[in-house]
Amino acid sequence: MRILGIDPGLRRTGYACVKINARGGEPTLVEAGVLRIATTGPLHARLLQIRTELLEVLADLKPDHAAVETLFSHVKHAQTAIIMGHARGVLLATMAGKNLLITEFAPKEVKRAVTGNGNASKEQVRRAVMAQYGLRTLKGPNDASDAMAIALTAARRLSLEGKSR
């Protein structure tokens, strides 16, 4: 089974695909990257770019399941939450249109699953996924490592659910 983890964003959306086999074992990383979205232009054009690029990722990686981080919002950043909601909506609708099973995780749940600490820093999450996947280096923004953590969280949950059946 292939699981696609998504860290949603309007400027950068991280993605990571992991593979788990039916016999269990730790997930293996297939690919991770970042969709870099135009920072200028009308919102509808940027949302369309997210959809178009995600469709390419889905066609290339052929995941069976998707996992997405839920929206974190704070009253001080209401406008950001609204804009992020647009991006998440496009991502969720695109994946649902491909009949993917979708699981959502709160940021604290992902952090706790990969580091043992729900208040872990971005750097702690990055180091944890590097260790999990045996990576010596991980270049680029945290969006890809966050997506790797989301995919890992989903893989572990699905493995546990499979064992409890």
- Find the catalytic residue in 60, 64, 143, 161: 143
pLDDT higher than 80, residue 27: yes
- Find the catalytic residue in 7, 26, 31, 64: 7
Spatial contact of 26 and 159, defined as CB atoms under 8 Å apart: no
Longest dimension (CA), the chain: 49
Over residues 94-122, the pLDDT tens digits come to 999 999 999 999 999 999 999 999 999 99
- Find the catalytic residue in 69, 104, 109, 161: 69
Look at residue 14 and give its three-state secondary structure: strand
Q: Which pLDDT value is given to residue 76?
A: 67
Pick from 68-72, 78-82, 95-99: least confident: 78-82
| Range 2-163: architecture per CATH | 2-Layer Sandwich (3.30)
Sign of CA dihedral 128, 131, 135, 137: positive
Per the annotation, the verdict on 143 as an active-site residue is: yes
Pairing state between β 24-36 and 2-7: unpaired
Per the annotation, the verdict on 64 as an active-site residue is: no
What are the beta bridge partners of residue 16?
5, 32
Over residues 126-136, the pLDDT tens digits come to 999 999 999 99
Mean pLDDT for the chain overall = 91
CA–CA distance, 141 with 100 (Å, rounded to integer): 26
> Where do the domains of the chain lie?
2-163
- Please report which confidence band the pLDDT of residue 164 belongs to, taking 50, 70 and 90 as the band edges: very low
Say what angle helices 43-61 and 78-97 make with each other, to 10 degrees.
Answer: 40
The larger pLDDT score, comparing residue 77 to residue 32, is at 32
Exposure letters 70-82 (e unless 16+ CB within 10 A, then b): ebeeeeeeeeeee
- What percent of the chain has a predicted confidence (pLDDT) above 70? 92
- Look up residue 76 and give its DSSP letter: G
Burial label, 22 (beta-carbon count in 10 A; 0-12, 13-18, 19+)? exposed
What are the beta bridge partners of residue 68?
6, 104
